[in-house]
Chain A
């Protein structure tokens, strides 16, 4: 599951496609306000793939929905800014009116949802839903759309003619997922958000979706934001990984660093919680305790009740993301202690051998 080596990153441009700054999203629930996304900031560059990992309920999906402002009625974006840039023209997503937002969705930013099982209108053929999408964004030439879709369907290894004339229920789950993926590429968006793209798929279909994503990323020019609790998927596809905990981004690092030099105790816990297939023996420990209550989150660092390194400072003061290495940010008061500890353990392991 580990990235074999730092991936060559020459496909990543310097231009920032999406800049998110201090974003807060909360839900109105019966018991009180659920602070689902708390002060999240990150930059996504053109051509870059960034994975967001974390336990379920940590705010990953809310973050994704918030970026295209498709949150449920009970949710509200409290603060922050989301800036989208294409060809040097920057627009603020949060200030768009409904028509601009409608045009932005899918044409600029396509979100592929988790569990695409019910992503399609059951009473319309795929070709009509494709045409609906194209027409909504000003396309008038049916033939041009058709040609483009056939090409995309081949790209995701689907039989174009058969799929086009099918109703959603006539396709398998994996096929539907790939149709949605192809549909996501239809308008050449510059940003694609993938929410749990492989859950609810069987292992073989997962494999083929991953292969498709990998080859697409190399062939086409877009930024990819991937939301997943599946660390192996992130390891295979991402350039950078953001770890989320209790609505906060607690660590952002290149994929290689995330897996081999994580600084945040939570990231370490997440990685250790995954068994490896390579035969390397590691302590398979899961993180003790339960995910925090987002209505009344713990004071200070939200992770402190479950953290082995927790100190008094952690209980009182919330750490901010700070840059600790090349393109490596972490929000932890004790990251140096974590680092020292890991060094000691590495020496210990080496000593045993």
Chain B
């Protein structure tokens, strides 16, 4: 438990020790550490295995662009794969394990892939697993799946909750480095509503990792003082541990706040993470820059990282990765690492390929030299350097910092298809086209010095908010120019990693070019360069540069790949928020739900509604027993069913009848007050859309019903017609589906039951078939009564305000007791409508016309209605069109299942000879055999024909007879009784 690499300084809290385990071993670190810095402090460089070759890997960065140091964090259901050790905040009790290994981390059996690397080059899978084709699913894929990938899921439910939140501000500032802090200070002092978001747990950006001073204070202290000033301003919201993941349209930004990731388990009532949607007028992107590595042979050994990462570990975390450190840099910035490390007692040597590399008094600088190879099986031990004179020198070192220059972090500037432009002085892309309302400041813009960042931040806030007056005073800070000679990879290097996460080498990029993948997007997909959890943040530029060289183009001519949200990986849980399990979509309960539960009903979900499916009795063992009983009892005496879920639309206004005439294909203008009528709506293309009834309650008032499933879309359609097609009709619509509880009371004794409840005369003379009226029940409660029938029996639908729905079902049951009233569910409802030949969604399935449904004559040619013109098209009116028919089996014991197809008895059974198909089927307890509704070519003319009903997929082959779809009471005498 020694922290042998811990050195003085940094922003860790040495008074707070955190014990943690990695691969079962216990270590100690401090508050303020990341998992990576704490492991490095303990001398652990090896943290993972690479994706393809299973090479030993350690951290390459100290930030969120980390490709290598990915671990399983936590254990059990909270296990989180592919977590970057470089950003994981250390806490007491943290548990991490390495991933993507077979065996132990230091002895990974799959490291054999590294020996096979000659074969495992770019496109290996495409080339190798081509044939035999049958091998793919059974042999190749399981092996590849076993070997590939990084972390694995726990396969347990995440016990934590995730939240979503909405924030509004005048100015969103992304990144709390010198530019972001200065911008926030400038904006906040003007009184603007400011949100400052930073992915780190400590604001300050690179100031925390550098030894610069700002005015007379250390940069990190200036940052801390500025953050505390901002924290005390009521118009500022500081969001640390918050990554802005995407720049969306019209000033909307997505951000993930890791509320509880830095503690073992979330505090009671607190979410693990919050996905914020931030609405802002203006945005300043101050996301800094990312240092890129240089490719040379075996540049991926643990201990090799970016020079700036070494500086972060030393200056911020008080960790010297190794007491002997080499720096390989093509720019002056790399020399800063050498200076800083030397000051902390590390033995440093600098290798700089530039002949004019700056000299140093305190340590050796090898100008014109290059690192050509490295050694060390599980971690760097030696670097082989080719000196300016061509001789080689072996340097002993346990850490090697590389600096190939800095890439401005343009990611979010490109989320709306903006493309960055090349800047020669920086040898990097800088932002160009920006999303509306966004400005860029600091290193993200290409202002690489601290002074430039501070001034740029202040200026950006000043102009974004259109502030009057002078800029605030800019504190004094270093203002070194960028001095760089582009240098991407060492000549002759082949096993030199360009993308360490995806194991893409210089050789792979060259091979891909040789095989014809010339577009940068093709390169990415062929080699996987730039994919994975880091999306190539440290890798892409190297790949582009090599490609440009091979193609004889410049880097800007090659161009970049597309940057897309999210900026860093986001847990699916954060996108889901609280919409999980039962909360994924709401459950809608009918007014009779509580009563139905008391009856022991079995429920089924229909368009979010929980509807009673059947009401089992104690002695019943199968659902069919219950359903048969409900059907027989209803047809014999009386049954009751909750039909509240049907969509209801109130249509009012002087022109209400004209409006219905337009939306229904059949006529409504002459429907008298007090009568309801079946209505069929068509789509404009002539296909049936929905059906229901419209009841004329008054001259200027209709109540329209829709099917349960289409309640929303039909209402939307009706509003479309009203507002877009007939804007000046005097008609108003409102959905009242939830306002009325409605019950169907059906059966020969239906009237006798309702007479005990309804205050008015409902005799056949006073209230005939299809009558409707506003009535009262139980001595005065306002209600509506409709004499409509879905079952084919004498039936009423009675509606009361929803609050009275529970009371009404109980009253109906009491009133019906003497008639053995039977509650029935959706199954019995379905059986009775099939027996009666009524269509539902199975028949109105988006392909059928009124003519197919046997309602062709309903389409009025005396008026205009939606769909009427195109319903008369030749193609929808052929002589052999499908027509709705009934089906019954010749052998009454056989089922006639829905989905089966009708074939000519002695003809071939194939798609070319298909005659039609079954849409709805059930067992009819009244007839004692199965029945079905079907669409059959020229169906009307084929009543009585014997056909074959086949379903080759389910081994169905049944002889059936075509019959009328009206199995019960075809003359409709019952419902008029």
Q: Do A and B bind each other?
A: no
